[in-house]
Structure 1
Amino acid sequence: MSDNCAIAERLFRAFADGDAETARELLGEDFRGTQNGGPPMDRDTLLKFAAAFRSVVQGYRYDNATCSVTETGFVEEHDVCGTLPDQSEVRIPACVVAEVQDGRITSIREYLDTARAAGVMKALGRP
């Protein structure tokens, strides 16, 4: 496994485990991220979103991860999985394109199936 895929594995494990400290260490200070081309998020905004997501999804985990190294980072495909408070199952296919510099992730562009994420967004009180 390459260093960049190891960084991806550590980041997604930290999100699933609720380990904000490790996630913060892996994300650069000037980090910028987007989901489906939406408004940019800084590091703190992403960490808050990950914590909120984890608060409504029991058994939050990433399944079927496939990571590929790029010249400047990594691309990872995975399923975001868990169970919502109404006991419905969550399985959201996602693709993450990331840039890595000096061992820290500087940007993430995440693309996911919004129809499959609708239950999570409802549980979070978002449209």
Structure 2
Amino acid sequence: MPVPIPALTSSERQMLGHLALADFPHPDIEPKSAAARGLDECQLRSDIEELRRTRQVTVAEGRLSITELGMVAYLAAERDELKAALTDVSALADELQRRDPASAVPHSLRQLAQGAWPLDQALAHLDRT
């Protein structure tokens, strides 16, 4: 049975992003650790509580660690953000094509955003036109 992937707040995602790279001390142990990572200590404490409750983070020997579920949730959030950005790029390509139907730029941009072409192929298409 599939496990549902929890939605993340922006601060939870930021914290999990740090934990995806390496464990770090709980703010009770090293309060300055949060500030060094650009995390708000009060928000971090709240996020730790929620992410522990949802089994995305563990605390052992004063250190925070990301769990497999936490990593999946973090990567899913990253994927969704990238997908939204690429959708916006495709929408921009559509608008550029509407404004200048003769231009090769929109087609190259759309193909690149959709992963159909690598960058060198998109640039070569522009050079041929």
State the TM-score bracket (shorter-chain normalisation). under 0.3
Larger Cα-atom Rg: 2
Question: Which one has a larger percent strand, Structure 1 or Structure 2?
Answer: 1
After TM superposition, the score normalised by the length of structure 2 is: 0.22
After TM superposition, the score normalised by the length of structure 1 is: 0.22
